[in-house]
Structure 1
Amino acid sequence: MPYRRTPKVQARLDSQRARILGTAVELLAEHGYAGCSMAAVATRAGVATGSVYRHFPGKAELVVEVFREVVTREVAAVEAASARPGESVERIVAVFDTFATRALKAPRLAYALLAEPVDVPIEAERLVFRRAFRDVVSHRIAEGIRAGELPAQDADVTAAALVGAAAEVLIGPLTSESAEALPALRTFVQRALGGLDARHP
């Protein structure tokens, strides 16, 4: 007869898994991908290293789960920003303001999400993150075109270009914890959308 976990045992395992994931987020935010080892997570979480491996086969699988958890939270934040009242350009700029401001509050974590060298499975999650972010922006661009607030353009291409540019611009500030690039990023987004005449910054 196969062994079946009791509800109490399952609840304990679920709680332990959640603690491990929360600890991994903390370590990623403090030390980046390189400092988020299975042993370090186990020590911080107060569990045996074997317990971490019981839930996750290896570091890549653990950090993939961390990425999914953090990315879900970040995408929800930019979606909420894009739903604020205002014209299309203002709402799209709010998306990038929100993304950049949140990134600068947790620069080490954001750098890990955006640019730190990682294993292949995590790089795949990074692409999922960018596509989700792109889709939020693309949706608002398409709305702006339909409303006559933005010139005709390929919403998906513009959104992908803006997301890629924003990530690239932020890499420097994230490593130096400087917000100096934010005003220039806002202006760039406005101009790229056709919402601000390039001759009048």
Structure 2
Amino acid sequence: MLGMAYRRTPAVQARLDAQRAAVLQAAVALLAERGYAGCSVAAVAERAGIATGSMYRHFAGKSDLAVELFRTVVGREVAAVTAAVERESTPQRRVAAVVETFAARALKAPRRAYALLAEPADPVVDAERLVFRRAFRDLIAAQIADAVESGELPHQDAELTAAALVGAIGEALVGPLSAGGDPGDTIPALTAFALRALGTPEAAPPPRTTR
């Protein structure tokens, strides 16, 4: 009947869902190879094996695609770090696990990680980066708060310390990531820095000797 809204059949919807998943998979691969600059709508469509016009069934434009791509990749990173944290038994080791896991994954895929952290992108992506940082801040802050409550760490503003760590770690990684490699001591140095920043007894410097 005229005026009735078109309803997609389950088969049509399944094909569209599969195509959208293929588009995102292609975008993730291109991000790792070329960064955001290489993730144009046309390039992603070509990698996914579909017509450029078909992309607009799923995304309004590059900004919309970039946001979904960012959320997909970040979701995987947060899941990997969270899993690593859950395997540890002490708050300090959990914080170390955040640093070690995030940095190791970043350095294994430097082009992708640089795109997530620092590559110039659309303003909507910058907004997503804030959400990304807050997710890691909250994960670290929860561990710091537990350690403070149990007396394992000195009193401190857990959220502020966590935010400072996230910012410092991201900044410290930009150099190696932009160079496309790991000098070899990045992860141990970052982990030691994080533990010192928390005020863990084992990370404190030895007492000075008087002469």
User: Secondary structure in 1 aligned to 2:87?
Assistant: coil
Using the TM superposition, give the Cα deviation of residue 180 of structure 1 relative to its aligned residue in structure 2, in angstroms. Answer: 3.0
The aligned runs of 1:108-123 (5 Å cut-off) are 108-123=111-126
The aligned runs of 1:32-181 (5 Å cut-off) are 32-176=35-179, 177-178=181-182, 179-181=184-186
Whether the aligned pair in 2 keeps the contact of 1:173 and 1:180 (CA below 8 Å) is: no
User: Secondary structure in 2 aligned to 1:149?
Assistant: coil
Percent identical among aligned pairs is 62
Using the TM superposition, give the Cα deviation of residue 182 of structure 1 relative to its aligned residue in structure 2, in angstroms. Answer: 1.8
Amino acid at match of 2:153: L
Spell out, residue by residue over 1:125-172, the C-alpha distance to the aligned partner (whole angstroms, 9 max, x if none). 111000001100000001111111111000000000000000000011
- Deviant stretches of 4+, over 4 Å: none
1:197 aligns with 2:204: yes
Structure having the higher Rg: 2
Cα distance in structure 2, aligned partners of 1:169 and 1:4: 51
Greater mean deviation of Cα atoms: 113-122 or 173-182: 173-182
User: Secondary structure in 2 aligned to 1:152?
Assistant: coil
Whether the aligned pair in 2 keeps the contact of 1:150 and 1:194 (CA below 8 Å) is: yes
Amino acid at match of 2:193: F
TM-score by length of 1: 0.96
User: Secondary structure in 2 aligned to 1:47?
Assistant: coil
Cα distance in structure 1, aligned partners of 2:164 and 2:25: 32
Using the TM superposition, give the Cα deviation of residue 185 of structure 1 relative to its aligned residue in structure 2, in angstroms. Answer: 0.8
Using the TM superposition, give the Cα deviation of residue 92 of structure 1 relative to its aligned residue in structure 2, in angstroms. Answer: 0.6
For the aligned residue pairs, the C-alpha RMSD in angstroms reads: 1.1
TM-score by length of 2: 0.92
Cα distance in structure 2, aligned partners of 1:85 and 1:42: 42
1:188 aligns with 2:193: yes
Cα distance in structure 1, aligned partners of 2:8 and 2:88: 50
User: Secondary structure in 1 aligned to 2:82?
Assistant: helix
The aligned runs of 1:9-28 (5 Å cut-off) are 9-28=12-31
Cα distance in structure 1, aligned partners of 2:161 and 2:192: 15
Cα distance in structure 2, aligned partners of 1:7 and 1:91: 44
Amino acid at match of 2:32: A
Instruction: Structure 1: state its 5+ residue gaps.
Output: none
Amino acid at match of 2:43: A
Using the TM superposition, give the Cα deviation of residue 86 of structure 1 relative to its aligned residue in structure 2, in angstroms. Answer: 3.2
Q: Name the count of aligned residue pairs.
A: 200
Cα distance in structure 2, aligned partners of 1:85 and 1:16: 39
